[in-house]
Amino acid sequence: IKTIVPVGAASSGCVLATAIDGYCLGYYVAVPRECTAAANVEWHEAAMKLLTPVTVGAQDVMRIWDRAAAGAR
């Protein structure tokens, strides 16, 4: 495993913590912005601001996974 893609409904908690831990452990981190949320909009926006360097579109992730799957066949 070289890449982690943290997603979920706790962007200001689990998603943020997982992204930081993964980065510190040397993983490539990609957080699809459309696949995260939080109970509090302000917390979500703050977390996403912190995650800006590793934030990607969900379509980007799907495109990469599709290419990888096609190459694995």
> Is there a contact between 59 and 66 (Cβ–Cβ < 8 Å)?
no
Task: Using the predicted structure, report yes or no on whether residue 24 has a pLDDT greater than 80.
Answer: yes
Task: Using the predicted structure, report yes or no on whether residue 72 has a pLDDT greater than 80.
Answer: no
- DSSP conformation class of 40: S
Q: What is the mean pLDDT of residues 55-61?
A: 95
pLDDT of residue 73: 65
Task: Using the predicted structure, report yes or no on whether residue 49 has a pLDDT greater than 70.
Answer: yes
pLDDT in tens, 10-22: 999 999 999 999 9
Task: Using the predicted structure, report yes or no on whether residue 48 has a pLDDT greater than 80.
Answer: yes
